[in-house]
Structure formats: C-alpha cells, structure tokens
C-alpha cells in the first residue's frame, strides 16, 4: 500500500524515471527495517538523494529552468552531422535568434551579451562557430546543459540575462567509452577513460573541413567564403576522498573565416578563439556542500579588411581570471553563502592598418577591472506546498578611477497545488562586462569592454512568473503545460555608435563611440510538451517586446535589435522502433529588427540610402523546417559497438531567409534594384556516421 | 481520433497563417526630396548636380525621372549672386548639371547655394578655407601585378590644426571628372606634419556589372589628384560617404547611419573646398 502511494506521489511530481525504481527498491527495505521484529537497530533516514540520468531529452522545472540531457540531444536532432545543445535550446519558447548568421541567442528579448555560457563555472565569452548554426560546445563531451533564466539566483554570476551551463560527466563508475563521428562538415571524436580508480580523463575534439565539400555552395559569381574551425575539450575528474572531488576543465576553439567580394576587390577575414581552464573542488558531506572554483578564460577576435594593399585589422581581447566558492547546507531550511572575485582585462579594437595615411602607433586601449561579490541565499519551506527563496548579492567593481558597490536582492516563491506549480521571482541583477561593435547580430568581431566611469555597469530589475501543470491523458501525465511571463527594466544599456572609417582616425576613442540608455522588455510564452513515449515533442508560442532609449538620441523608446515579436516552435520526434527514429523541427519568428531604408539617392555615382528610425522595421519573417532521421545498430566483436547513421536536411522547404536588404543600381538598365542577401543555409543536407562503445 | 485531427488541423492552419504573416520589410512613405551635389573649388567654377531622392517603396522607375532639368540654382559669395545654367554632362552621372563661369572660388569667402524646383527649396552655405599645396605624387608597384601601381600624395599639414581634407582623383586618359576617392576623407591633427596618403580610385556604382572594382590606377595612365581642404561639416559628410560607399554592402559591418548634410531642405552636400591639384603619369 505504502509502495503504491509513494509511486503515485513520484509520478505526480514527475521525477525522472530512473529515480522511481531506485526509490521503490529502497522503500520496502526501509519498511522491513521498521516493521521487522528481528531488527533491533533503528535508523532514521532524513533524506535520500538518488540521482540518475533522465530518459527524457528535455526537462523543464517549475521555475522555468531547462535541463537538456546531452546524450539524448544527438538522438533528437542533428544538423550538419552535429547535435548541438545551444541549437536545441533555440527551440525552447522565448529563446530566439531570427537569423541564420546571428551568433548568440536572445532569451526573453535580452541582448545576446546578457546571456553567459559556462564550463565548470567559467565563462566562455563567444561560444559560436560561424553563423550560429552550432556552438563551440561539443555535445559528446557534456552530460547535460542547463538554462537558468535567473542566472543562478543568488549563486550565479553577475549577468543581466540567463546562464547556460555545460556540465561534464562526474560518473566515474562506468567503464571506458569512446565515440567517433564522421560528418561532411566536420568530424570529431570523444574518449573517456579511467586512469585508475580515482582519476578519470575525458577528451573530445572536432575538426572541420567545410571548404572541401561545401566549398562550391559557399561561393557565387561575386563572392567566395572559406571557413574552418577546431575545438578541443579535456576534462579530468579526480576523487580525492569519499567527500572530495577535483575537476579540471580545459577548452579551446579557433575559427577562421575569409569572405571575398570581387565586386569591391575586398576580402573580409574574421578570426576568433576561446581558451579556458578551470579547476573545481567539490566537498560533499552529509551536512554541507562546498564548491570552490578557479578559472581563467580568454577570448580574442580580429576583423580584417584587405583591399589589395589597404589592410585594416581590429583585434580585441578579453581575459578574465576569477574564483568563486559556495557553501550549501541545511535540510528543511537550506542556505548557501558564497563569493566571487574576478579580474577582467579587456583590450577592444586595437586598430592597425596600412595602405592609408602614415600614422603613429597608437597606445593600446586597455580597460581592466576588479569585481567582487558576496552572496547569501536561503530556502524556507513554511509548508510542504510553499517554498520561499530570498537572496542578496553585494557586488563591487573597481576600474581605473571608477569604483562602485551594488546591492542586488531577490526573492523566488514557489507554490505547489495538486498538478499545478507556480513560481514567481523578483530580483535585481548586475553586469559589468559589455559587448559592442560593428555587428547587430553578435558576430565575433564585436568586442568586450569592462565597466568604466563612462560605460557604467548595466543593472536590471526583473519580475517573472512561471506556471506548470501536468495534463492527464487517461491515467498518464504525458503532457506538460508551461507558461512564463516576464518584465525587465534595464538601466545603462550600451550600444556602439561608431563606424569603421572613424576607427581609422588618430584620435579615435572607443568609449566615445558607446552610447548608453535605458530600456525595458516584457513578454511571455506558453509551451505544451510531451517528453516520453514513442511520439514526443513540443509546441510553443512566445511574444515579447524590448525597447531602448538612448540619451544621445531624440528618438525616445525604440525597439531593440532583439525585439522578439512572435515566435512559434514545433518539434516532433517519432521513434519507429528501437533502431530508427525521425524528427522534425519547425521554427518561426517575426523578422529580425532592422533600420528601414526610406529613400535612395545618388551622390558621386554612389547609391546612398537614407534610413528611418533605428530598428523601426523588420526583415521578412524568419522560418525554416529541419528534418532528421537516425538509424542505430550494434555490432558484436571484441567490443560491442553502437553505430548511428544520421541524415538531416536544414531548411527543408528552402525558405529564403533574408539577412540583409539594400539597394543597388543596375548599371545596365539605369534603375534601382532591391538587393536581398539571403542565408546560404537552404536545403542543406548532411549525413554523418558515429560509432561508440 | 477526431480530437487529434482537429488539433492537427488547427495547428496546420495557425502555422500557415504565421508563415504568410509578413514577407516584406516595413516601409514608411518618405517624401521625395531635392538632392544637391554641389562643388566650388578655390580658383575653380561651381558645378551643381540636382536630382530627387526616390522613395524606397517606389524605386522601380527610370533614373531619368529623378533628374531635375528645369530647376533654379543660385550661388552667392555674399557680394554677388549668380543663377547657374543647366547643361548636359556626358562624363558622369547624373548626365546634367548646373554651372557658371562668372564666379570663381576665393579662399576666405562664404559661399551659399539655393536650389529650387516647383515648391521645393534646398539651401546650404560654407566657408572656403585656405588651400594646402601638394608637394608631390609618387607611385609604388603593386605586388603580384604588372600593370597596377599604388599612388601616394605627399603634403605638409597646415599649422592650424585640426585640418580636414578630401582627396579627389580623375583619370585624364579616360577623361573622367574628379570624384572623391575611396577612403579619401582625412583629419590631420599634428601641425606641420609631413603627410603621406595613399590614394585610390573613386568607386562608382555605375560601373558595368561585369567589371570588378580595381582601386588602383594602371601604369602609364595620366591622372590628376586634388587635395581639397574643407570645413569639419563637409569633412563629416565625406567621411560618412566613404564609409557607406566602401563598406555599405558588407554583411559584417552594420552601416545604417544616415549621411550628415549641410543642406537644409534636402539631402546631399554643398562642398566648398580650397583645393590644390597635381597631374602625373602613373609609373
């Protein structure tokens, strides 16, 4: 009877399936211990924590936190032979890009730079390979990915938006395993081996050869694109004792892009890299959990333009060295306290050029800062149904002659009633590293700059509410309905106002070209999902607005480049049998915000466009359908090998998604002609083969 | 089963509706405005091109519709006002310009322009500064090219800085008019500095479609380089123009800022410039 009761409670609470048999195994033993007359020693268990991997690919918690099971993502959707967690997150409601070339994701209408990506609690500043098609995070290297819209509440880093954490496996009990993936864009391998009973090493690497097979697709009569990348992940887990574990994460990626336009005799080159090293120590005993972390993370990029002997390059660097620690304890009254301290060096737009006027070497633009945070958070459960989590962060930043302290409090309240869970949060957040540059779509050429007296830290006040309800079909809770609404007020939003020519001026100062203002975003989304069964998937709708107002402009509040508008995603996966599954994903968003061209005229035989108010129009709607099929089979030999053949088509109905719109003159007819630069990602097929043991 | 069918049908209809939601850019209607492209050089005669801008949602019309052939263009130096005469111009676009030989640019004077057509009036005025002489022009061979040379202009910056310049080039051999060369707007901040600037050909959107832009002159070509000192306002225009014409079509660089203008009641530039020029054969 008790077993049945517990089973129904667990099913209602939708705990991962693996927990159910584990708890069901433990519970009868506990029952026997208390009821058996041969046992004289009574043990009272205050808490049993049973962990296991969810069989579901995606798990959404009541507070809107999304957890992806990375091992299942590959089985759900692969593009260009790569399963990508960030790409999969774009199918979640309120998570959008509206562009194939955008490098970044906007969550709830926030700027791309408001989201932080982390490996081992260390930030990865630019986690994209070109075009945002897939991220620098090798899916095979990570066990799970979490998206937290509150950026970790009191325990997270100082960011305005969300945090996306890539979690490396910590299960050192399983045997060695490896996988090899061969695709037509890139290939990769991943290996995980126990060195001894205490030390476990994992390494993953990917190398692209896009130019070889897709080279012809990347060029036309006027333009030619060449691109390659590699990324490497290494993780070492060392079990120092039953309670202590050390984890080292190393990561590097490097990308090289070259784009030649014969019409202008111009070659644009963009190179970027991330380097990261982090060391984590986790002490976990029955009473406390202490997590200590130290890291260094570096991102460098360079945009170069070459027009025969005119060569211009603008390299930028950001390096952060930091340490954080969190102590967690308590049962019914759970609390944690922590700190984070970091030194950030930014060196934006260190311009060098030749083939123009003689110029003296400029001093490097270096902006350094030290920031520190002390935080405390507790979780109070006045009743079984209600939990309240207040937190407070005291943060300070010192940068050159600028120094300021911020207090960022917050509270989250969760109420569970039957099948319904409601979570509301209200908090203030802070961000001290900013992104700006020539690109509205977050390309690698954008630079990072730390806060100064002129470029003040961004702060935001956020209020959000999340609702989750399990929907029953027959006796099973197969469907889940989630809804999320938010409002965010933003202070000290920054935007770049310079242009490339002005950078060549001797007296160019990057801070003079960053404008500041205020803004707000508001919106909501709803999603119906089915996470288990032969047919799984979700459908979601989101709507949001983001407005910004800059003191240097007379325009008043105007849409941000990441103003969401409408967004719909639909994803379905059908498991035909244990070997074969097919999936399809359709996403639609209102066209990306753009500054409209209102008039055209000619000056000195050049077409000049007169623009309207910034971001006051939209490009055509962005949508595409991606389809994929996976076939698994195993082979027996000295090793039992699992093989997967993945076939996919990106943008299967060939939608011409417009990335840019302008006007040119047709010199043959003497008429203006609207030129639309369309995404090259159209009917993009890919096939890959993976083998693992 | 029936329930599933209804749900799927509703979803399909919703998707189809969203897909057809918005397939074109929002375009506000902007009124056509006069576009002034006027030049007066020191020791030179004024020349003005007068056209109309085109509304972006009504762009598909012959270019001849945008020419203003029967406008009235008046130039004044403060003492004298001259009405310019319209005449065909076969060397560049637009193929019609307004000119006069009765007024010569003199440094130190203010020049104003008034362009009128129907009820539209555009005005501008600017001061003509003192010119800076070009010391020399020299050339260097381009690597991997037998026929192209890089061109450099050498001059000494004036003592009163900051000084603003626009460099124009023309091919005497091809009989083209002076046009602002690519990356040709510069600000000099160091007084009496020895400046060496690489100059490029002007970029034209009217070049034949099968002809790639080559920013260098050919060996043996007779060219003329003009160094024009201008006010900050005029320099700002040509700097923004240079940015727009050079990088305006790049997907990597956002260029959505409008060109600043010293013209009131229209677009364009009244470029009052103190100029010196030098002719040379590329070698």
Check residues A315 and A44 and name the one with the higher pLDDT: A315
Chain B segment 18-37 residues within 8 A of A by beta carbon are: 18-19, 21-28, 30, 32-33, 35, 37
How much of chain B, in percent, has pLDDT values that exceed 70?
89
d(CA B86, CA B69): 7
Burial of A160 (0-12, 13-18, 19+ CB in 10 A): buried
Which DSSP state fits A212?
H
d(CA A70, CA A204): 14
The answer on pLDDT for B249 being more than 90 is: no
Instruction: State the nearest Cα–Cα gap between B21 and chain A, in angstroms.
Output: 7
The answer on pLDDT for B211 being more than 90 is: no
The answer on pLDDT for A271 being more than 60 is: yes
The pLDDT tens digits for A110-155 are 999 999 999 999 999 999 987 777 899 998 899 999 999 999 888 8
Both tokens assigned to A65: 């936190």
Of the candidates B23, B205, B259, the beta carbon closest to that of A665 is on B205
d(CA A435, CA A445): 10
User: How many A/B residue pairs have CB atoms within 8 Å?
Assistant: 246
Which DSSP state fits A153?
G
pLDDT confidence of B3, banded at 50, 70, 90? very low
Instruction: State the nearest Cα–Cα gap between A343 and chain B, in angstroms.
Output: 30
User: Helix, strand or coil for residue A559?
Assistant: strand
Alpha carbon of A633 to those of A73, A693, B4: distances in Å? Answer: 18, 12, 33
Task: Determine the pLDDT at residue B139.
Answer: 93
Task: Determine the pLDDT at residue A15.
Answer: 36
Task: Determine the pLDDT at residue A33.
Answer: 34
pLDDT confidence of A668, banded at 50, 70, 90? confident
How crowded is residue A578: how many other Cβ atoms within 10 Å of its Cβ? 8
CB–CB contact A438 B252 (8 Å): yes
How crowded is residue B26: how many other Cβ atoms within 10 Å of its Cβ? 14
d(CA A631, CA A646): 6
Residue B245, C-beta contacts closer than 8 angstroms, at least 6 positions apart: A604, A606, B182, B203
- N residues, chain A: 693
Instruction: State the nearest Cα–Cα gap between B98 and chain A, in angstroms.
Output: 15
* Strands, E assignment, A308-401: 310-329, 333-347, 352-354, 367-380, 386-399
The pLDDT tens digits for B138-197 are 999 887 788 889 899 999 999 998 999 999 999 999 888 999 998 899 898 889 989 998
Q: In chain B, count of helices (H) and strands (E)?
A: 2, 17
pLDDT confidence of A276, banded at 50, 70, 90? very high
Task: Determine the pLDDT at residue B10.
Answer: 57
CB–CB contact A609 B244 (8 Å): yes
Among A106, A218, A231, A242, which Cα is nearest to A561's?
A: A106
Instruction: State the nearest Cα–Cα gap between B134 and chain A, in angstroms.
Output: 14
Q: What is the mean pLDDT of residues B21-41?
A: 75
d(CA A613, CA A607): 19
Chain B nearest-CA residue for A355? B198
Check residues A623 and A134 and name the one with the higher pLDDT: A623
Q: Most B CBs within 10 Å: which of A608, A619, A658, as the mutation test of the B interface?
A: A608
The answer on pLDDT for B28 being more than 70 is: no
d(CA A33, CA A38): 9
The pLDDT tens digits for B54-93 are 998 888 878 888 999 999 999 999 999 999 999 998 888 8
Cβ-contact A180, A218 below 8 angstroms: no
Task: Determine the pLDDT at residue A76.
Answer: 66
Of the candidates A101, A568, A677, the beta carbon closest to that of B18 is on A568
Check residues A48 and B181 and name the one with the higher pLDDT: B181
The pLDDT tens digits for A381-437 are 989 899 999 999 999 999 988 999 999 999 999 999 888 999 999 999 999 999 999
How crowded is residue A654: how many other Cβ atoms within 10 Å of its Cβ? 11
Task: Determine the pLDDT at residue A7.
Answer: 42
Instruction: State the nearest Cα–Cα gap between A79 and chain B, in angstroms.
Output: 22
Task: Determine the pLDDT at residue A322.
Answer: 97
Give the CATH number of domain B34-127; options: 1.10.3470, 3.30.70, 2.60.40, 2.20.25: 2.60.40
Residue A85 φ/ψ, nearest 5 degrees:
-65, -40
d(CA A118, CA A151): 11
CA terminus-to-terminus distance, chain A: 42
Q: What is the mean pLDDT of residues A612-629?
A: 92
Check residues A504 and B109 and name the one with the higher pLDDT: B109
Instruction: State the nearest Cα–Cα gap between B272 and chain A, in angstroms.
Output: 15
Task: Determine the pLDDT at residue A159.
Answer: 94
Please compute Rg for chain B using Cα positions: 24
Instruction: State the nearest Cα–Cα gap between B34 and chain A, in angstroms.
Output: 9
d(CA B139, CA B282): 7
Cβ-contact A385, A417 below 8 angstroms: yes
Chain B nearest-CA residue for A444? B252
Both tokens assigned to A76: 């759900």
Task: Determine the pLDDT at residue B7.
Answer: 52
Of the candidates A270, A566, A605, the beta carbon closest to that of B18 is on A566
Could you state, in order of their start, the residue ranges of all structural domains in chain A? 1-52, 58-692
d(CA B8, CA A367): 55
d(CA A526, CA A483): 4
d(CA A597, CA B30): 10
User: Helix, strand or coil for residue B160?
Assistant: coil
pLDDT confidence of A286, banded at 50, 70, 90? confident
Helix ranges restricted to H, chain B: 2-19, 232-247
d(CA B182, CA A225): 24
The answer on pLDDT for A43 being more than 60 is: no
Task: Determine the pLDDT at residue B283.
Answer: 87
d(CA B274, CA B276): 7
Task: Determine the pLDDT at residue A52.
Answer: 45
Task: Determine the pLDDT at residue A21.
Answer: 34
Chain A nearest-CA residue for B31? A599
* CA A9 to mean position of chain CA atoms: 34
CB–CB contact A598 B28 (8 Å): yes
Check residues A624 and A172 and name the one with the higher pLDDT: A624
Task: Determine the pLDDT at residue B20.
Answer: 47
How crowded is residue A453: how many other Cβ atoms within 10 Å of its Cβ? 12
pLDDT confidence of A23, banded at 50, 70, 90? very low
Chain B residue numbers touching A599 (CB-CB < 8 A)? 30, 32-33, 53-56, 267
Say which range, A492-496, A506-510, A564-568, has the weakest mean pLDDT.
A506-510
Give the CATH number of domain A58-692; options: 3.90.550.10, 3.30.310.10, 2.40.170.20, 1.20.120.450: 2.40.170.20
Question: Tokens 């982090």 identify what position?
Answer: A278
How much of chain A, in percent, has pLDDT values that exceed 90?
53
Burial of A96 (0-12, 13-18, 19+ CB in 10 A): buried
Chain B segment 127-186 residues within 8 A of A by beta carbon are: 142-143, 148, 150, 179-180, 182-183, 185-186
* Peptide bond just before B94 cis, omega within 30 deg: yes
d(CA B6, CA B17): 16
Cβ-contact A376, A392 below 8 angstroms: yes
B196 CB near a chain A CB, below 8 Å?
yes
B241 CB near a chain A CB, below 8 Å?
yes
Helix (H) or strand (E) holding A214: helix A210-214
Both tokens assigned to A482: 């989630």
Of the candidates B25, B202, B207, the beta carbon closest to that of A667 is on B207
CB–CB contact B241 A606 (8 Å): yes
Alpha carbon of A550 to those of A113, A346, A495, A544, B172: distances in Å? Answer: 18, 24, 9, 20, 49
- N residues, chain B: 283
Could you state, in order of their start, the residue ranges of all structural domains in chain B? 34-127, 134-254+274-281
d(CA A470, CA A481): 6
Question: Chain-wide mean pLDDT for chain A?
Answer: 85
Chain B segment 37-56 residues within 8 A of A by beta carbon are: 37, 51-56
Q: What is the mean pLDDT of residues A635-659?
A: 89
Q: Most A CBs within 10 Å: which of B134, B187, B253, as the mutation test of the A interface?
A: B253
Among B234, B109, B85, which Cα is nearest to A603's?
A: B234
Task: Determine the pLDDT at residue A53.
Answer: 44
Task: Determine the pLDDT at residue A45.
Answer: 46
Task: Determine the pLDDT at residue A12.
Answer: 38
Beta bridge partners of A227: A257
**In A405-438, which positions are buried (b, 16+ CB within 10 angstroms) versus exposed (e)?**
ebebebbbbbebeeeebbbbbebbbbbbbbbbbb
Most confident of A347-361, A417-431, A502-516: A417-431
Question: Tokens 């012809």 identify what position?
Answer: A216
Chain A residue numbers touching B198 (CB-CB < 8 A)? 309-310, 355-357
Cα atoms in the 13 Å half-sphere on the side-chain side of A400: 13
The answer on pLDDT for A219 being more than 80 is: no
Say which range, A179-183, A254-258, A431-435, has the weakest mean pLDDT.
A179-183
The answer on pLDDT for A14 being more than 80 is: no
d(CA A79, CA A92): 17
Both tokens assigned to A506: 């001797």
Helix ranges restricted to H, A57-132: 70-76, 85-89
Residue A156 φ/ψ, nearest 5 degrees:
-90, 175
d(CA B206, CA A665): 7
Among A457, A405, A407, which Cα is nearest to A427's?
A: A407
């Amino acid at each position: 009877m008790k077993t049945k009761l517990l089973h129904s409670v667990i099913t209602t609470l939708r705990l991962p399936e693996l927990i159910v048999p584990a708890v069901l195994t433990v519970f009868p033993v506990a029952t026997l211990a208390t009821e058996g007359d041969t046992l004289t020693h009574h043990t009272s268990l205050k808490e049993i924590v049973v962990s296991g991997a969810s069989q579901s690919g995606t798990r959404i918690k009541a507070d809107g936190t999304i957890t992806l099971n990375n091992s299942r993502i590959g089985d759900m959707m692969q593009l260009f032979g790569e399963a990508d967690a960030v790409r999969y997150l774009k199918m979640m409601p309120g998570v959008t890009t509206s562009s194939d070339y955008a490098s970044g994701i906007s969550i709830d209408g926030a700027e791309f730079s408001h989201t932080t990506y982390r490996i081992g609690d260390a930030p990865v500043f630019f986690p994209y390979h070109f075009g945002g098609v897939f991220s620098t995070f090798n899916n095979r290297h990570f066990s799970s990915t979490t998206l937290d819209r509150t950026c970790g509440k009191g325990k997270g880093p100082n960011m305005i938006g969300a945090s996306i954490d890539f979690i490396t496996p910590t299960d050192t009990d399983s045997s060695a395993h490896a996988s090899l993936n061969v695709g037509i864009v890139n290939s990769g391998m991943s290996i995980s081996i126990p060195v001894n009973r205490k030390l476990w090493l994992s390494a993953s690497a990917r190398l692209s050869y896009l130019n070889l097979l897709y080279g012809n697709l990347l060029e036309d009569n006027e333009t030619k694109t060449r691109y390659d990348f590699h990324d490497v992940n290494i993780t070492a887990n060392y079990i120092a004792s039953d309670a202590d574990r050390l984890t080292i994460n190393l990561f590097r990626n490097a990308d090289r892009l070259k784009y030649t336009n014969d019409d202008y005799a111009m070659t644009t080159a963009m190179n970027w890299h991330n380097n990261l090293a982090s060391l984590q120590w986790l002490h976990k005993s029955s009473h406390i959990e202490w997590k200590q972390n130290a890291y260094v993370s570096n991102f460098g990029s360079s945009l170069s333009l070459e027009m025969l002997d005119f060569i211009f390059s603008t390299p930028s660097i950001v390096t952060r060295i930091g340490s954080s620690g969190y102590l967690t304890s308590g049962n019914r009254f759970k609390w944690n306290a922590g700190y984070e301290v970091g030194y950030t060096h930014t060196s934006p737009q260190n311009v060098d050029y030749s083939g123009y006027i003689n110029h003296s070497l400029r001093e490097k633009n270096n902006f350094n800062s030290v920031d520190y945070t002390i935080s405390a958070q507790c979780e109070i459960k006045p009743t079984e149904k209600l939990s309240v989590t207040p937190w407070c962060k005291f943060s300070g930043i010192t940068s050159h002659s600028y120094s300021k302290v911020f207090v960022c409090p917050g509270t989250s309240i969760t109420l569970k009633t039957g099948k319904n869970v409601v979570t509301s949060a209200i908090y203030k957040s802070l961000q001290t590293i900013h992104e700006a540059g020539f690109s509205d779509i977050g390309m690698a050429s954008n630079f990072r700059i730390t806060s100064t007296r002129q470029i003040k830290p961004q702060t935001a006040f956020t209020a959000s509410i999340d609702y989750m309800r399990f929907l029953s079909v027959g006796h099973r809770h197969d469907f889940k309905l989630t809804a999320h609404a938010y409002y965010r007020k933003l202070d000290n939003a920054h935007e770049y106002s310079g242009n490339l020519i002005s950078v060549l001026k001797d007296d160019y100062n990057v801070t003079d070209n960053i404008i500041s203002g205020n803004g707000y975003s508001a919106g909501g989304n709803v999603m119906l999902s089915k996470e288990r069964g032969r047919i799984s998937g979700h459908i979601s709708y989101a709507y949001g607005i983001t407005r910004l107002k800059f003191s240097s402009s007379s325009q008043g509040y105007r849409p941000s480049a990441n103003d969401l508008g409408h967004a719909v995603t639909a994803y379905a996966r059908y498991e035909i049998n244990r070997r074969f599954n097919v999936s399809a994903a359709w996403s639609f968003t209102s066209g990306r915000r753009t500054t409209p061209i209102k008039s055209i005229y000619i000056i000195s035989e050049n077409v000049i466009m007169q623009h309207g108010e910034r971001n006051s129009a939209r490009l055509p709607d962005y949508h595409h359908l991606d389809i994929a099929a996976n076939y698994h089979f195993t082979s027996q030999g000295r090793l039992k090998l699992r093989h997967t053949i993945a076939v996919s088509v990106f943008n299967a109905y060939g939608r011409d998604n417009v990335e840019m719109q302008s006007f040119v003159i047709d010199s043959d007819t003497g008429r203006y002609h609207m030129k639309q630069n369309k995404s090259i990602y159209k009917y993009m097929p890919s096939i890959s083969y993976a083998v693992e043991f | 089963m029936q329930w599933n069918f209804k749900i799927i049908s509703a979803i399909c209809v919703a998707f189809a509706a969203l897909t057809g939601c918005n397939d074109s850019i929002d375009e506000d209607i902007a009124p056509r405005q006069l576009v002034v492209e006027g030049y007066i050089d020191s020791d030179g005669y004024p020349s003005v091109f007068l056209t109309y801008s085109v509304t972006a949602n009504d762009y598909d019309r012959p270019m001849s519709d945008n020419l203003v052939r029967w406008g009235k263009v008046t130039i004044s130096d403060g003492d004298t006002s001259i009405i310019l005469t319209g005449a065909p111009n076969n060397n560049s676009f637009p193929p019609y310009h307004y000119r006069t030989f009765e007024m010569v640019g003199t440094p130190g004077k203010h020049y104003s322009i008034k362009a009128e057509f129907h009820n539209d009036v555009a005005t501008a005025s600017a001061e003509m500064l003192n010119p800076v002489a070009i010391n020399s022009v020299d050339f260097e061979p381009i690597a991997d090219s037998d026929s192209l040379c890089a061109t450099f202009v050498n001059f000494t910056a004036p003592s009163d800085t900051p000084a603003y310049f626009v460099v124009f080039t023309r091919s005497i051999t091809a009989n083209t008019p002076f046009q602002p060369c690519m990356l040709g707007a510069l600000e000099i901040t160091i007084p009496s500095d020895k400046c060496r600037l690489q100059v490029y050909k002007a970029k034209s959107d009217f070049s034949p479609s099968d002809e790639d832009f080559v920013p260098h002159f050919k060996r043996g070509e007779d060219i003329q380089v003009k160094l024009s000192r201008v006010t900050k306002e005029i320099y700002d225009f040509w700097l923004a123009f240079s940015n727009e014409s050079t990088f305006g079509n790049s997907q990597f660089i956002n260029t959505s800022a409008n060109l600043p203008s010293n013209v009131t009641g229209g677009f364009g530039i009244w470029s009052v410039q103190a100029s010196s020029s030098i002719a040379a054969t590329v070698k």
